[in-house]
Amino acid sequence: MKEAVSTNKAPGAIGPYSQAIKSGDVLYVSGQIPVNPETGEIAGTIEEQATQSLTNLKNILEANGMTTDNVVKTTVFITDLNDFAKVNEIYAKFFNAPFPARSCIEISKIPKGCKIEIECIAVK
C-alpha cells in the first residue's frame, strides 16, 4: 500500500509524480530543487540552492512526522562537481551523525536551470 505525502511548505510537483510516497514505515521523497515554495523563485549561489533544496526536503519529512534524523539514504545531483565541498558544508548543517548513506552525481541539467536536486529515503 502506498500513500502520497505533500505539503505547501515545499514546491508542488511539476510533473506526474508526488512530493513523497509513504509505504509502511518508509518515506520516499522525490528530488527537491531549490524553488522557494512561497515565491516560486530560485536562488543564485550553490550554497543558497543547497539550503533551499534541503529545507524543502526537511519540510516534506516534517509533513510526515519525521526529521532529517529519519533519513537513511540521500542522492544529490549537482551540475558542477567542483561545488561538492560547498554542498557538503550546507549538507552537514541539516544532518546529524550517523549521517545517511549518500550518492553525489554530476549531471548535465536539472529542471528550471537549477544547480542541485536532492532526494531521500527515510524510515520511521
pLDDT digits (tens, 9 = 90+) for 19-46: 999 999 999 999 999 999 999 999 899 9
* Residues written for the chain: 124
- At residue 13, does pLDDT exceed 90? no
- Residue 99's pLDDT is what? 97
Determine whether 120 is an active site residue: no
Residue 74 belongs to domain spanning: 3-123
The structural domain count of the chain equals 1
- Average the pLDDT over each of 9-18, 29-38, 65-74, 76-85 and give the range with the smallest value: 9-18
Q: Round the average pLDDT of the chain to a whole number and report it.
A: 96
- Residue 14's pLDDT is what? 80
The CA-based angle 105-123-90, given to 5 degrees, is 45
pLDDT digits (tens, 9 = 90+) for 106-118: 999 999 999 999 9
- At residue 15, does pLDDT exceed 90? no
Query: Could you tell me the CATH number of the domain that includes residue 73?
Result: 3.30.1330.40
Of the residues 104, 106, 112, 124, which is catalytic? 104
C-alpha cell at 59: 519540510
